[in-house]
Amino acid sequence: MSVETYDNAVIERIRTLGRPPYRAVVKRTYDESRKAEALADTFRVFQKSLRLVPPIDWRQDPAGSRSSRYELHTLQLLDVLFHLYLVDGSLGALDRARSIGIDWIRANAPDEPRVSEFAWYDMAVGLRAPYLAFLLRASVHEGRIEPTEAALLLTSLRSHGEYLVDGANYAHGHNHGLFQDEGLFLIADYLPWLAEADEWREVASRRAIETLRATINETEAVHLEHSPAYHLVIVNLVRRLRHQTEVGGAELDDLLRRLEETAAWFVMPDGTLPELGDTDQVAAPAWVLDRIPGDTSGCRLFSESGYAVVRTPESYLIATAGYHGSGHKHADELSFVLYEAGRRIVGDSGRYGYYESDPHRVYARSSHAHNVLVVDDQSFGWKGATPYGSGILAGGEDGGWFGIVGENPLLRAQSVEHVRLFLYRPAHALVIVDDVRSDADHEYMRLLHFGVGLELDAAGDLLHLRAPGFAGALHAWAIDGGSSRRLRRGSEQPDLRGWSYSGDRQRREVTTVEFADRGRDGVYALALSLQDSPMRVRLAANEADEYRIVVDFDGRIYQLTARLGGGVLQVNEREIA
């Protein structure tokens, strides 16, 4: 990278702009211990304390992970120093930030072949650029930078802008592209006199709107990367686009409001997120909790986006079936998460981490880590398949029962048609009916992954569930007789089974139940009692788009009828005895 020369007139032009506003992706508050650490040259990178004094080894791997190498190159670590400068008035903190920023630039020229793979990685560039731009402006404003260093920063920022504006580097149709657009727009705003600034601003604005439309279902206001966590990421990004840039105008204001309303449906009663797709088991931010209405009871279908949610103040069920692209996609068609009695009763795999060759990451994304029906022990082949959109077909409610019906289009590659029906009465029971059709014999295996801390005991055709404050039972029914049943927990040989991942490489053993049957056509049911009283079910009739299920539960025998017609699911309960 050849450094351009700038005379004092350029420095004076920057100085006349005054003290810059601080606009960046990560802006946190810090306690006194964290501030003291930063003033002693110690920073947190991917939750690991790291001493950074120039010259810094920018190829190091702070936490032995891809994510830590990536985070190091975003320069998010400068945020604490900027906080010290802006809030505490510490010019020494600004000097430390300048020293680190200059060191990064000198070690990571864009034409240097030996730099880290994350030095010029799409999203890292977008996140880093505003930190460097603020650093230049603030250092000039305070008179804390030499002209040669200012020239180096300005040259690097031009390189950042050229990288971000280049369509060959752009993450089309992916949330990373939005972070690139945000960074490009903010460089243009921080350095408005540059000849390229207007072009950068126009390109960033246009691309951001295009990418939002490609990655969000505007009708339902749902982000389409298969993960509640990334829906929240995009809400925050859209909020910053509105508050920190000129992108979108009133149209984006309306979208932001509806995205925030949708986010409230992705929060369980304990305030955590359901671990679907690449979502960790983490608490939802306060702004989401504030948007949950006082009366939280009801059902919400996102039938174009691939989610269905039932919730009450103490109960929660979310089902998923969607394929919109490769972003954060798992083989999890018709999987679900169930929350009752203050705990996850049925959980999903979660993210594990972005280590695509790690066996636990491979497992976490496979069908065998989800609450699904698999055919012939094969994970769903979504890679290379055409995205089908949503598999959620309809929903309905009657007499306290909520119904959701969906299909798994990916099984058509195995010549199998699969429809799944959920019948859910919060705090009482969940019934799952799987209807499969094929012209050839197959093994159909249904998988359930129970929450951490749940103990299962077999008693004949029942599995009793126990945990502090909870007792329930599971009954399986098959149209051709009994299904074979196997329990797995924390298995590593001959294959991974019975694992859940609450965060980055944080693995926990869970009990997985496998029910296997063989045949061509079949109807199978699972009845999960959520009370200390077993439930047994059997199919009374299965006609076109109608299921009649006899339920024996808590001293009563009654029939549940679910009828699909005109895109509406009708649910009815009728007493038999």
Pair 342, 464 in one domain: yes
On whether residue 284 sits in a domain, the answer given is: yes
Last residue of a domain, one of 208, 234, 254: 208
Question: Beta strands of 479-555 (E only): which ranges?
Answer: 484-489, 499-503, 506-509, 511-519, 522-529, 535-543, 546-553
pLDDT of residue 293: 76
On whether residue 335 sits in a domain, the answer given is: yes
* Tens digit of each residue's pLDDT (9 = 90 or more) over 321-345: 999 999 999 999 999 999 999 999 9
Residue 494 is encoded by which pair of tokens?
């001959």
pLDDT-derived band at 540 (thresholds 50, 70, 90) equals confident
Residue 547 is encoded by which pair of tokens?
């299921």
Pair 306, 183 in one domain: no
- The distance from CA 39 to its chain's CA centroid, rounded to whole angstroms, is 34
What does the alpha-carbon distance between residue 554 and residue 482 come to, in Å, rounded to a whole number?
23
Q: At what angle do helices 197-215 and 175-190 cross, to 10 degrees?
A: 160
Query: CB-side exposure of 241: number of CA atoms within 13 Å?
Result: 30
pLDDT-derived band at 262 (thresholds 50, 70, 90) equals very high
* Tens digit of each residue's pLDDT (9 = 90 or more) over 147-199: 899 999 999 999 999 999 999 999 999 999 999 999 999 999 999 999 999 99
Where does residue 420 rank: exposed (0-12), middle (13-18), buried (19+ CB within 10 A)?
buried
* Tens digit of each residue's pLDDT (9 = 90 or more) over 71-104: 999 999 999 999 999 999 999 999 999 999 999 9
On whether residue 398 sits in a domain, the answer given is: no
On whether residue 232 sits in a domain, the answer given is: no
Pair 168, 310 in one domain: no
Smallest CA-to-CA distance from 100 within 126, 80, 83, 75 is with 75
Pair 44, 110 in one domain: yes
On whether residue 560 sits in a domain, the answer given is: no
pLDDT-derived band at 1 (thresholds 50, 70, 90) equals low
On whether residue 200 sits in a domain, the answer given is: yes
Pair 197, 273 in one domain: no
CATH code for position 111: 1.50.10.100
Pair 278, 153 in one domain: no
Pair 171, 43 in one domain: yes
Pair 98, 32 in one domain: yes
Please give the residue range of the domain that contains residue 305: 262-393+443-538
pLDDT-derived band at 315 (thresholds 50, 70, 90) equals very high
Pair 190, 312 in one domain: no
On whether residue 63 sits in a domain, the answer given is: yes
DSSP secondary structure letters along 65-132? SHHHHHHHHHTTTHHHHHHHHHHH--HHHHHHHHHHHHHHHHH--TT-TTS-TTTT-HHHHHHHHHHH
Rounded to the nearest integer, the mean pLDDT of the chain is: 94
Smallest CA-to-CA distance from 421 within 305, 268, 312, 537 is with 537
Q: Give CB contacts under 8 A, 24+ apart, made by 216-223.
A: 216/255, 216/259, 217/302, 217/304, 217/305, 218/255, 219/304, 220/262, 220/302, 220/303, 220/304, 220/305, 221/255, 221/258, 221/259, 221/261, 221/262, 222/262, 222/302, 222/304, 222/305, 222/307, 223/175, 223/259
Pair 161, 49 in one domain: yes
Pair 65, 167 in one domain: yes
CATH code for position 465: 2.70.98.70
Contact 216, 258 (CB under 8 A): no
> Does residue 292 register a pLDDT over 90?
no
DSSP secondary structure letters along 249-262? HHHHHHHHHHHHHH
Pair 370, 472 in one domain: yes
Per DSSP bridges, beta strands 307-311 and 298-302 are antiparallel
pLDDT of residue 13: 86
Q: What is the mean pLDDT of residues 34-50?
A: 96
Split into its structural domains, the chain has a count of 2
> Which residue has better confidence, 85 or 251?
85
What does the alpha-carbon distance between residue 557 and residue 577 come to, in Å, rounded to a whole number?
5
Q: Which of 19-28, 100-109, 269-278, 501-510 has the lowest mean pLDDT?
A: 19-28
Q: At what angle do helices 249-263 and 197-215 cross, to 10 degrees?
A: 40
DSSP secondary structure letters along 395-413? EEEETTEEEEEEE-GGGGG
From residue 34, alpha-carbon distances to 49, 101, 478, 536 in Å are: 10, 20, 58, 56
SS (H, E, C) 147-209: HHHHHHHHHHHHHHHHHHHCHHHCCCCCHHHHHHHHHHHHHHHHCCCCCCHHHHHHHHHHHHH
On whether residue 436 sits in a domain, the answer given is: no
Per DSSP bridges, beta strands 373-375 and 442-449 are antiparallel
pLDDT of residue 543: 81
